[in-house]
């Protein structure tokens, strides 16, 4: 085998190893949740940020987020995750309560999501 062919083969093998190893690394943004999170763990966040006066409190036309049953359909169809964890436009800027969630609150909600939005 010529030196040029050996060089090309070595370069190709090195590229394959680098690509394969890079896919094994964890995403640096991935959240590792050590303990299961249940509804009771996030209830205060949801009540303060979503279920306050004039919003998801059970007295308006919006879903009632002050209990798990009222929140369940929004969890299963993905709208809760989309609005609060992906686009992060909830609470809205016109809200009368908190205008944003803290990173700690978002992390707790993400862990709850990873746990399948468990009630118990």
Average pLDDT of span 102-118: 95
Q: What is the pLDDT of residue 119?
A: 95
Tell me the pLDDT band of 91, cut-offs 50, 70 and 90: confident
Q: What is the pLDDT of residue 23?
A: 47
CA distance 12 to 32: 34
Q: For residues 99 and 84, is the Cβ–Cβ distance under 8 A?
A: no
Query: The whole model's pTM is what?
Result: 0.72
Per domain, the residue ranges of the chain are 39-114
| Tokens coding 35 | 């303990």
* 7 SS3 class: helix
pLDDT per residue over 20-66, tens digit each? Answer: 554 444 444 678 898 999 999 999 999 888 887 778 988 888 888 98
């Amino acid at each position: 085998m010529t030196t040029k062919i050996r060089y090309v083969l070595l370069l190709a093998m090195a590229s394959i190893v680098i690509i394969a190893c890079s896919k094994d690394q964890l995403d640096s943004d991935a959240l590792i949740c050590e303990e299961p999170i249940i509804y009771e763990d996030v209830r205060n966040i949801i009540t303060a940020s979503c279920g306050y006066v004039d919003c998801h409190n059970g007295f308006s036309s919006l879903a009632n987020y002050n209990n798990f049953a009222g929140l369940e359909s929004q969890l299963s169809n993905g709208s809760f995750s989309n609005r609060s964890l992906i686009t992060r436009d909830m609470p809205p800027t016109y809200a009368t309560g908190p205008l944003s969630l803290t990173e700690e609150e978002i992390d707790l909600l993400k862990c709850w999501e990873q746990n399948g939005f468990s009630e118990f």
